[in-house]
Amino acid sequence: MKTRNSFITVLFASMVSLIAIACNDKAAGPAKIGVDQDVKVAIYSTTENGCEADTISPCLIEETVHISELLHYPGEEGVTMPFNFYDTSRYSEITEGNLDKRIVISVNGQVVSTPVVKMKLDNGVCSVVLDDAQVSALFPNVNIEELLN
């Protein structure tokens, strides 16, 4: 009987801990704001020029993609703009062909990111982190303070 009570007590404590962790993970999730807007995204290859990367034309891919929401993760600088390329096979080729190389990502003609490609991506998923000025320029109807608070 004593063993059974101990087992039930441990089981109950474990369940409470799991619930607390799950609730805490939800609280630490990103703040979201819907934007429902199309933007033109392009990726260019680069050449290294000291500390800067020079864009090489023509672009590797250019698509109009739909942005449904912007995200702000607690404790992080900037706002994440997730999106999907429709031509997943071309995007896969670009990421595979540029492993450990810097690329340039532009949104509506404005350079917003120059990441180093770390892995081949087959699903078309991409995101960029925008600063406040970039969010305001690309999404003038978004209240940046609402997203950051």
Residue 41 has pLDDT above 60, yes or no: yes
Higher-scoring residue by pLDDT: 8, 56: 56
Percent of the chain with pLDDT over 70: 75
Phi, psi of 13 (to 5 degrees): -65, -40
Backbone angles phi, psi at 82, to 5 degrees: -85, 150
CA distance 69 to 80: 9
Mean of per-residue pLDDT scores for the chain: 83
pLDDT of residue 7 exceeding 90: no
Query: What pLDDT does 50 receive?
Result: 59
Question: Which spans in the chain are helix H?
Answer: 2-27, 88-97, 132-138, 144-148
Cα(144)–Cα(148) distance, rounded to whole angstroms? 6
Residue 15 has pLDDT above 80, yes or no: no
Interval 107-130 mean pLDDT: 95
Reading the block at residue 1, the tokens are 């009987």
Please give the pLDDT value at position 27.
57
Q: Round to whole Å and give the CA distance between 135 and 78.
A: 9
Q: Is the pLDDT at 23 greater than 60, yes or no? A: no
Cα distance between residue 28 and residue 21, in whole Å:
11
Residue 20 has pLDDT above 80, yes or no: no
Instruction: For 69-78, write each residue's pLDDT tens digit.
Output: 999 999 899 9
Strand order of the β-sheet with 52-72 is 110-113, 103-107, 31-49, 52-72, 79-84, 125-130
pLDDT bucket at 146, cuts 50 / 70 / 90 = confident
CB atoms closer than 10 angstroms to residue 92:
16
Range of lowest pLDDT (28-32, 42-46, 128-132): 28-32
Nearest CA among 112, 119, 133, 126 for reference residue 67: 126
